[in-house]
Every structure is written in structure tokens, then in C-alpha cells.
Homo-oligomer: A and B are copies of this chain.
Amino acid sequence: MSGTEKEFVKEVTSRSVDFSQWYLDIVLKTGMMDYAPIRGCMAIRPYGYAIWENIQGLLDKRIKDTGHQNAYFPLFIPESLLNKEAEHVEGFAPEGAWVTQGGDEKLAERLIVRPTSEAIICYMYGRWIQSWRDLPVLINQWCNVVRWEKSTRPFLRTSEFLWQEGHTVHRTEEEAEEEALKMLGVYKEFVENEMAIPVLWGQKTESEKFAGALRTFTIETLMPDGKALQSGTSHNLGQHFAQVFDIQFLDTDDTMKYPWQTSWGVSTRLIGALIMAHGDDNGLRLPPRIAPTQLVVVPILSKKAREQVLQKAEELSAGLKEEFRVELDARDEYSPGWKFNEWEMKGVPLRLEIGPRDLENGGVTAVRRDTGAKEFIPEGRLSTRVGELLQEIQVELFRQAESYKEENTRRVSTLEEFKNIMEQKRLLILAPWCGGSSCEDRIKEETRATIRCIPFKEEIDEKGSCVCCGREEGRVVYFAQAY
């Protein structure tokens, strides 16, 4: 390694020294984002945005395959509409960005830049829904939202972020509940299979549910610093919004009824999960299914065989491009070592090196980003073997994250033990909870951990004495410190 090459990596703080600084180093160094001159806002640069486009593409397909259509609702919500649902306004008004001036005119009514779109969408739904024939309404929107946050971190919490928000309307409670759970399942499957991150899932407690919802369901991912990241939520909104926005439909029995609604969303926060779940001290490690570049071809250009090597690299890249997302790095101004570091930093799953010796041997040297393992692949097997390796890398990244999660989950039965763990090393805790909010609050106060979710009974159906009060019998739930 030359001096410059070392420098490239040296500029990144080690994960073990300062995880938080490592994260900030990575997002800048990889060109995923940059800070913008507006508080808490960022510019998502092409490399970060390409990841978002892949997330969008893969998730949008699932959203459509489950019968939803996309639409677009206004950015601005009049204050009076936001005010209709009491819990909702309490939750979102304090972090609103407010438009008070339009052109030269001071507005008669303030407009909030949407922090979420229930209020404006319910207003429109009230115009569109008349009878049972109009149901279900299954609509999703991809857009930007704004929450004026006090403390922000790139991708994880920004004043403006990108997301999708599904908003559905149903005849019955059962249908709405089924929809809310179905979309949570879509999120879990997507995050695990495409992003290679294992997910915990379940229901939020009353204190952690969405402002205005009847029930909130969540997927949570455990990050390498032992904190949980809420990565997607799905809400059964009940009839709250229908009542205040007067959405009514004539049912088959000829009576007017309030329908049941859901909403569900994931955001650019998922990019933060991706970075943290898989990254190492050399940079990102992207799962092949989500990586903007799945493999990079680096020709090793000695003077002797320069032309032949370059030509072969171009030929192989062109062939691989038919099946994979390929980058050929034939830049002259950088050494192979510098390039290796740069592509490792960017987390490209597979690197193919082609030098004079590879040329002689009739193949390429493949290096995996996840394990560093090298292997020679004869040209005739190249496309097959690359496909296999990408699949193996996808599986291996999930396996590593899964075993991290298992090794960092503890079952505890006393608050003492709970506190000790949180003081020494943050972990994911499974412990019984009586269901009372005073115990929930006290645990939070003493451990800074919150209930991430009450697991579904099909997964964990255990009971025990409440870890806090000890008096009441309680369900075993997930606790962790949270982002």
C-alpha cells in the first residue's frame, strides 16, 4: 500500500473506536450524501440515491403486486385539516415546517409541509368514497416529507426525507387489520431478502404507537452498536380519521358506515440501516440485490500487456453487463491499489481483477467484499460463477447479521440484570412486561431502553413476572435502546 492508499482508509474512523463517527465518515466518504445549508437537511448524492432507486424499484413491485396503485397528493396541508384529529396534530404540529407566505400575500391560514399525509389524503378520500363499491381503496405515494427535527443524522433522522406512504380504506375492521399486517409482512420480507437484514416484528405499545392510530405494527433491526432502528411501520388507523374527516360509505345493507383505514411507510432511513448493518472498517458492504454496482472489473495494466488486458476487460465487462450491474474501472490516473480501496469503500460486492497473468491463465481473479476470499474463475465459467458468488454474498451478509442479532439478544428476568447489561454493552433484551405504562416509563428511565415491540404470539408467546414490578404476570417483549 502506498501512502495515499493508506490515507484513503485512514480517514475513516474505526467502528470499534467510535461507531457514530464511523457512520458519518462512511456516508461522506462514499459520496452517498453531503450536508446542505438548511438545518437537518442533506443532499442525497448519486451513489446514495442509486441505492434508494433500487429500494424503490424492488419495493414498488411488491406494493403493486399486492394490488396497490400509486398516486400523488399535495405537499401542503392546511392547518385546519391537520387539526381535525387531536392526537395526530399533537404528534406532528410541534415539528412542522410552516408556510405562511405565498407570493406577496400573507396566507390567511398557515400550511404545514406534510410530515405525513393522513390529513390531506383523508380529505380527498371523503370526496371519492360513497359506497361499498368504492372500497377497498388501495393507494400508495412516493414523496418527500418534512419534520423539523432538533437533532439529525444523515439518512437516520433528517428534517426532510423521502419515503413511501400507503393509505388504504376498507369496509371492515378485519380487512384493515389484515392489510396492516400484510404490508408489515411485505416490509419484513423485503428487508430480509433484498437488504439482507434480519428483522424483529410485532406491535407497538400504546405510548409508542403512531399519533392517531388504533394499533401500530413495526419492523425493527438491531444495529451493531446494540441499538434498535425502527425501520418501517404499519398502522391500523381504526375509524378515527374516517370519523373526523367524515368519510362514510353506503354499505350493502343500505346503511351509512365509517370505513376502517390503514397507513404504512418506509423511508430513506433504510439506507442508514443498510450502512450500519453490513459496513466494516473498510467501508460499505452492500448486498448484491440492492448494490448499484454489483461487480467492478479492474484491469491491472502493466506496460507489457496493457492493450490486451484492457481489451479483455472491456470484452468481459460487456458480456457481464447483460446480466449484472457492472462497472469497468479503466481510469489511468489511479493505481489498482487505490481503486481496490475505493470500491471496497463503496461496498461493491465483487471485484474482478484482470492482469497479464490472469490473461495467460484464461480467466480472472475474483475477490469477495464480504469475506475477502479470492478465487480464479476461468472465462468459460465467468457469468455462471459470478451469479453464484453474488448469491453466496447475499446469503452470507444475512447470515452474519443474523448471528450478530442472536449473539446480542439476552433474556433477562430482573431489572438489575437489565441495567447491568445496558451499562456495560447495549443488547437486545427479551423480558416479561406487565403491560403497564408506569413500568414501561420506569424501565426507560433506568435503562434508556424502550419496548421496541410486543412480538406476535406465533413467534414468541412466553409469560413471566414483570421485569420491573415483579408483581404482575406479563408477556415477554423486546426492549432496546433506540435510534
Contacts and interface: CB of A to CB of B under 8 A. Distances in A.
Interface of A: 34, 36-39, 41-46, 49-50, 52-53, 69-78, 81, 94-105, 110-111, 113, 120, 123-124, 127-128, 133, 139, 143-144, 146, 148, 150, 159-160, 162, 333
A94 B102 CA distance: 8
Nearest to A72: B44
A43 B124 contact: yes
A34 B127 CA distance: 9
B127 A74 contact: no
A127 B36 CA distance: 10
A97 B101 CA distance: 6
B94 A71 contact: no
A73 B36 contact: yes
A188 to B, nearest CB: 26
A141 to B, nearest CB: 8
Given A78-B38, A123-B37, A70 B98 contact: no
Contacts of A74: 36, 38, 41-43, 160
A103 B99 contact: no
A71 B97 contact: no
Contacts of A123: 36-37
Contacts of A120: 36-37, 43
A294 to B, nearest CB: 16
Contact of A53 (B70, B97, B101): B70
> How many of these chains are in the complex?
2
A113 B99 CA distance: 9
B37 A75 contact: no
B146 A144 contact: no
B127 A76 contact: no
A103 B94 contact: yes
A102 B69 contact: no
Contacts of A133: 333
The 3 residue pairs across chains A and B that have the minimum distance between CB atoms: A46-B69, A98-B101, A44-B72
- Central interface residue in A41, A74, A139, A148, by most chain B CB within 10 Å: A74
A113 B38 CA distance: 12
Contact of A146 (B75, B139, B143): B75
Contacts of A39: 102
Nearest to A73: B43
A99 B76 CA distance: 11
A60 to B, nearest CB: 9
B81 A160 contact: no
A99 B160 CA distance: 13
B75 A144 contact: yes
A135 to B, nearest CB: 14
A204 to B, nearest CB: 24
Nearest to A45: B71
Given A38-B111, A46-B71, A102-B148, 14 more contacts: A36-B74, A43-B71, A43-B72, A46-B70, A46-B139, A50-B69, A74-B160, A76-B97, A97-B99, A97-B102, A98-B100, A99-B100, A103-B148, A133-B333
Contacts of A36: 73-74, 120, 123-124
A19 B110 CA distance: 35
Contacts of A104: 94
A49 B70 CA distance: 7
Given A49-B71, A95-B103, A148-B103, A76 B38 contact: yes
9 contacts: A43-B73, A43-B124, A49-B72, A52-B72, A53-B70, A75-B146, A99-B113, A102-B148, A105-B148
A148 B76 CA distance: 12
Given A36-B124, A74-B160, A78-B38, A69 B43 contact: no
A24 to B, nearest CB: 16
A268 to B, nearest CB: 9
Contacts of A69: 46, 49-50
Contacts of A77: 38
A210 to B, nearest CB: 19
B50 A70 contact: yes
Nearest to A47: B69
A231 to B, nearest CB: 20
A150 B103 CA distance: 9
A76 B94 CA distance: 19
A144 B145 CA distance: 11
